[in-house]
Structure 1
Amino acid sequence: MSSSFDKYQKRRLISSYFSVALSIALVLFLLGLLGLLVINAKKVADHFKEQVTMTIYLKDTAKDVEIKQLEKSLAMADYVKSTDFVSKEQAAESMKAESGEDFMDFLGINPLKNSIDVHLKADFVTSEKLDVISKEALSKNFVDDVNYDNDLVNLMNDNVKKISFWILLISGLFTLIAVLLINSSIRLAVYSKRFTIKTMQMVGATKRFIRRPFIWRSVKLGIVGAIIALIGMAVVLYYVDKMFPELTLLNNPVLLAGLFGFVFALGILITWISTFFATQRFLNLNTDRLY
């Protein structure tokens, strides 16, 4: 009978530890994913900004040497990521493919112009900087026009600012929630041992001696939970990078290592602090109030 009861108690204890470790793992996993979002938010925003195209239309009188010189100067400019020359024939073929009709059959001529598509670096995709770059290109006598979607640029920059603000706000809120949830799980685990704590105290054990095994056990659960969370983060990061390689999520290993280290340390720190204060509460509690 006693053996069955001991086995039952052991199963309950293991189940309790498993629940605490799983709770810690889930909270740290979600916090880690939010951390990945925070550190890659600028990279994602920059990726979309760099998809904005500034098109420089060239006059029909533009000489090949002038076009080549312009391409070379653009390639060397610190604000340009890439350039692509599009001849009027290529532009006509693209328009024909999109519309399904050959407009040259009606017009008899190709009214399109040779152009250079310019993809700018993200830091230069603002209305002010695009206006300066546009005026610089128009100052050349063989450039006919410069075109870009100014409304899209303004909308994109406004949305990036709003999203960045909310990400930071949610990150702070979620960190607080994570601390409270882990603290609650640890307090419940310590609460189930409140009579053991008080019994040890009554036979003369010091507070430090009583706290030590509880803290060490919670720290081990924190380590287990953190490792599970880190494995989950690594799997998600791997598959997202595989699906969107253009985001180059794995190109900053130092920052990623810092985030993983932060999540691991947080798992240990929160469990240590939570257990310390939880055991301290029951150590200072009167025996009558244990019930």
Structure 2
Amino acid sequence: MSSYFEKQQKRRLISSYFSVVLSIALVLFLLGLLGIVLLNAKKVSDHFKEQVVVTIYLKENAKDIEVKQLEKSLAMSDYVKSTEYVSKEQAAEFMKAETGEDFMDFVGYNPLQNSIDVHLKADYVTSEHLETVSAEALNKKFVDEVSYDNDLVNLMNDNVKKISFWVLIISALFTVIAVLLINSSLRLSVYSKRFTIKTMQMVGATKHFIRKPFIWKSIRLGIVGATLALIGMAVVLYYLNQTFPELQLLAKPILVILLFAFIFALGIIITWISTHFATQRFLNLRTDELYY
């Protein structure tokens, strides 16, 4: 009978530890993912901004040397990331691939123009800079027209500001929720040992002596939970880096290491503080109050 009772107690203890570790791991994992989003938010927004194309259409009589000089001057500009010359033949092939039909069969000739596609650096993708680039290009006599989607640029910049604001708010809120969830899990774990705590206190054990094993046990659980969270974060980060290599999520490994270190330290600190206050609460209760 005694052996059966001990087995039941051991199973309950293991189940309790497992639930605490799982809750710590899940909360820290989600918090870590949010940290990854925060670290790469600007990089992601910059990537999409740099997809905006400024197309400079050239007149039919534009000379090769003039076009090459324009390309070179654009490439050397501080605000330009890359340029690409697109001949009207290439443009026609692209339209044919897009529509699935050869429009020149109906028209009889190629009405498209030679052009230069310009990608600006993310910090310069604003209406003001685009207008400046457009005005400078139109000053060239061999430039016929400059085209870009100004509405898309304004919408993108507005959305980036809104998203950045809400990500910060959600991050702060989620951090508070993470602390409260881990704290609740650990308090329940300590609650199951409240009579043991009071018994030790009644036989003369000091508060520090009673708290010590509980704190060390919680720290070990925090380390296990944080380790599981870091493994999950590493898997997700590897997958995202393989799927979206253009984002270069691992371009700054020091920041990634600091984030991992922060999540690991947070797992230890939260479990330590939560267990300290949880045990302190039961140490301060009277014996009859333990039943409520």
TM-score strictly above 0.5: yes
Alignment correspondent of 2:131: 131
Distance 1:97 1:188 in 2: 63
SS at match of 1:61: coil
Q: How does 1:188-227 map to 2 (within 5 A)?
A: 188-227=188-227
The Cα offsets for residues 170-207 of structure 1, whole Å up to 9 and x where unpaired, read as 11111111000000000000011111111111111111
Distance 1:139 1:290 in 2: 84
Alignment correspondent of 1:230: 230
Alignment correspondent of 2:160: 160
SS at match of 1:229: helix
SS at match of 2:184: helix
Report runs of 4+ in structure 1 exceeding 6 Å deviation: none
The Cα offsets for residues 121-170 of structure 1, whole Å up to 9 and x where unpaired, read as 11111111111111111112221111000011111111111111111111
Unaligned runs of 5+ in 2: none
Q: Displacement of 1:14 after TM fit?
A: 1.3
SS at match of 2:81: strand
Identical aligned residues as a percent: 78
The residue type paired with residue 254 of structure 2 is V
Q: Displacement of 1:96 after TM fit?
A: 3.0
Distance 2:240 2:268 in 1: 28
Alignment correspondent of 2:86: 86
SS at match of 1:235: helix
Q: Describe the shift of the 1:203–1:100 C-alpha distance in structure 2 as closer, same or farther (beyond 3 A).
A: closer
Distance 1:217 1:99 in 2: 66
Q: Displacement of 1:108 after TM fit?
A: 3.8
Distance 1:61 1:122 in 2: 33
Unaligned runs of 5+ in 1: none
SS at match of 2:37: helix
SS at match of 1:116: strand
Alignment correspondent of 1:256: 256
- What is the TM-score with the length of structure 1 in the denominator? 0.97
The Cα offsets for residues 22-79 of structure 1, whole Å up to 9 and x where unpaired, read as 1100110111111111111111111111111000111122111111111111111121
Distance 2:104 2:12 in 1: 81
The residue type paired with residue 180 of structure 1 is L
Q: Displacement of 1:106 after TM fit?
A: 4.1
Distance 1:130 1:43 in 2: 21
Alignment correspondent of 2:54: 54
Q: CA RMSD in A?
A: 1.2
Alignment correspondent of 1:273: 273
- What is the TM-score with the length of structure 2 in the denominator? 0.96
SS at match of 1:117: strand
The residue type paired with residue 103 of structure 2 is F
Q: Displacement of 1:289 after TM fit?
A: 0.4
Q: Displacement of 1:281 after TM fit?
A: 0.5
